[in-house]
Chains A and B, each alone.
Chain A
Amino acid sequence: MSATSTLHPPGRLARFARLCWRRKAASAGALITLLMLLVAIFAPWIAPHDPNEQDILSRMAGPSADYLLGNDTYGRDILSRIIWGARVSLFIGVTAIGAAMVIGGTLGVLAGYFGGKLDRLIMAVMDMLLSFPSLVMGLLVVAVLGPTTLNLIIAIAFTAIAPFARIARAPTMAVKQRDFIEAGRALGYSDLRIMAVHVLPNILDEIMVLGSLWLATAIRTEASLSFIGLGVRPPTATWGGMIRDGFENMLDAPGLVIYPSIAILIIMVALNLLGDGLRDATDPKLRHE
């Protein structure tokens, strides 16, 4: 009301709201990702039916009041299976990318920090890993180790280590040249401490951006592996597995394939929007726009 209240600096919440408004796409991406995560975590309470409960009478039935998205070939509730599928997809994606981030990030920082022979060795191995398309790599690992959830995580993590090593290495080399690293050495800090306390926080934003973008890729790889039958074993609900199951009857009941596809599409778009937003937010050139 009064003039003083308009001069009052905006609170944290107001500033956050303004920031979200200015970055609508990124905020939408973050919101959808968050919702998906909540759905995945609370699947047992949200899902209207048991995902494996078969209602033989409503095989391939269309949407109804009881089964909002209809039923699959075995009469299972598609909506419940999508909700439980989110759990599998996100769990595998998040753990695999988390592992790749830690392993790849560590290798990249080591390579960038020490340079020389170690750098050449690490990057040669990373280039080798990069030369495999991620699906082929995933196929290879799962085929060798067998299709369990853990192996699937290992396979996907393997495909993502190289990009994280690369993205960590370049800024490490740049940060290493900065004066505060030399100043840290003059204070007697060991290489390990400099890498962990002084290099890592300075390159973390770039790793996080890549993380959100690669989470989308990981979910897609998981879906692809499930689609070709190398994913988590049935009857566990996974999005890729649902598309595979529905594939044969696609023409009779398009919902079998369309709904899980839409679920994959939504999470992919959301994660990409989030990643782009993070990239813009951490890019000093765009920060003040």
Chain B
Amino acid sequence: MPPIRSYAMNNPTQRPILSVENLTTEFRISGQWHPAIRDLSFHVQPNETLAIVGESGCGKSITALSIMQLINKSQGRIAHGRIEFDGRDLTACSEREMEAVRGDALAMIFQEPMTSLNPVMTIGFQIAESVRYHRPVSKREANKRALELLELVKIPSAARRFDDYPHQFSGGMRQRVMIAMALACEPKLLLADEPTTALDVTIQVQILALLADLKETKQMGMVFITHNLGVVASIADRVAVMYGGRIIEEADVVSLFEHPTHPYTEALLKSMPRVDQPRTALHPIAGQVPPITVDMPGCRYAERCPLREARCDVSVPPLTPVAGATGHRVRCWVRAPSPMLEAVAS
């Protein structure tokens, strides 16, 4: 784990590498379009890791796929919003333009390292392929680069394993290979969708350390999607907590863990088993995430929330700054009442 973190990178004068504005992605379920993510806005600076946290079905993977423009067109669509990456709006790019961006300046790694490699091709071929596809290099140069990448992700005796097939690699090693492929063209932004979830804990730590190290040396932005708060604490600079397709709390990682403000974030932290405290019963969050087919005018967490009030069911609270920490914003009527909006309401 990298304990020391520099906050200079959060310099607001720097241009973000990715800024998402009012992104809404919808899916068609029995003929009706239902939003899976709603009016999502966030940004990522170069050399910054934004963790997106939330439970299954909150829309975190859809967010990553939307940025990559990999939403299956027969089932889903980006209804509105802008995804500005490296100075251009990805939602306006053609499929051909996106193919040039994906795997080059914008890369993604997935949750399942065991099945994310082609079983009938050698590791070396697959990494070299990702180099050759985006760069006009000879086969020799691509192979050389692939070998460098294998060494970069710390595959032991990389040269000897170059011609091995995926089945000869363990899960952790395969995830390293996936990372090597994603980094082949030195991306400016890496989307990591639960890259350590399928790995056991000791390997998780190694992969997280590797990613943190690579982010630092390559000055790349990273969006790290996870449901594991321990992982968030060890890798993130900033955190966005998602619930029901919306960001409900956003803060730098220290503020979030010290002053969780949204009742959902609070409950999430409480429900996590801790080794540094006496063993007590866990506190699960009662109830379930409302399915995306259910439309509700108010806060989507209201029915599970201990602080629920009448106004929570009337309209969606805005993301409001929390006093005390810069950049800490929360979407809750009770915890962060917006004076101006309340005046309007009354």
Contacts and interface: CB of A to CB of B under 8 A. Distances in A.
A186 B70 contact: yes
Interface stretch (B103-111, B201-209, B249-257): B103-111
B94 to A, nearest CB: 12
A179 B61 CA distance: 14
A186 B103 contact: yes
B169 interface: no
A182 B117 CA distance: 10
B118 interface: yes
Interface string A178-192: 111011111111100
A15 to B, nearest CB: 18
B118 A187 contact: no
Interface stretch (A6-14, A196-204, A259-267, A269-277): A196-204
B316 interface: no
B74 interface: yes
A179 B103 contact: no
B305 interface: no
A190 B102 CA distance: 10
A160 B46 CA distance: 56
Interface string A150-181: 00000000000000000000000000001110
Interface in B90-131: 96, 98-104, 107-108, 110, 112, 115-121, 129-130
Interface residues of B, number: 30
Contact of A187 (B96, B121, B130): B130
A133 interface: no
Residue among B68, B110, B118 with the highest chain A CB neighbour number at 10 A = B118
Given A179-B110, A193-B133, A202 B118 contact: yes
Given A201-B120, A201-B121, A183 B99 contact: no
A116 B72 CA distance: 13
Given A179-B116, A193-B133, A202-B118, A187 B102 contact: yes
Nearest to A115: B74
B117 A183 contact: yes
B308 interface: no
Interface in B320-342: none
B223 interface: no
B134 interface: yes
A186 B102 contact: yes
Given A188-B98, A188-B99, A188-B134, A197 B117 contact: no
A180 B182 contact: no
Nearest to A205: B120
A188 B130 CA distance: 9
A41 B102 CA distance: 50
Contact of B182 (A116, A187, A197): A187
A197 B117 CA distance: 13
Contacts of A182: 70, 110, 116
A202 B110 CA distance: 21
Contacts of A184: 118
B181 interface: yes
A180 B117 contact: yes
Contact of B116 (A116, A183, A202): A183
A197 B128 CA distance: 13
B178 interface: yes
A31 B130 CA distance: 41
A190 B112 CA distance: 22
Interface in A195-218: 197-198, 201-202
Interface string B51-88: 00000000000000000101000100000000000000
A4 B224 CA distance: 53
A183 B130 CA distance: 11
B115 A189 contact: no
A190 B99 contact: yes
Given A183-B178, A201-B121, A202-B120, A188 B108 contact: no
Nearest to B74: A116
Contacts of A193: 133
A28 B52 CA distance: 61
A275 to B, nearest CB: 21
A228 B184 CA distance: 62
A255 B259 CA distance: 98
Contacts of B115: 178-180
B46 to A, nearest CB: 21
Contact of A186 (B110, B119, B129, B133): B110
A187 B179 CA distance: 11
Nearest to A189: B133
A185 B95 CA distance: 11
Contacts of A201: 118, 120-121
Contact of B103 (A116, A187, A197, A198): A187
Interface in B300-324: none
Contacts of B100: 188
B163 to A, nearest CB: 16
Contacts of A190: 96, 99
B102 A188 contact: yes
* Nearest 5 A/B pairs, CB to CB: A187-B103, A188-B102, A188-B103, A179-B115, A186-B108
8 contacts: A180-B117, A183-B110, A183-B116, A187-B103, A188-B100, A188-B101, A197-B121, A202-B118
Interface of A: 116, 178-180, 182-190, 193, 197-198, 201-202
Given A179-B110, A182-B116, A188-B98, 18 more contacts: A116-B74, A179-B115, A179-B116, A180-B116, A183-B117, A183-B181, A186-B102, A186-B110, A186-B182, A187-B103, A187-B107, A187-B181, A187-B182, A188-B101, A190-B96, A198-B118, A198-B121, A201-B120
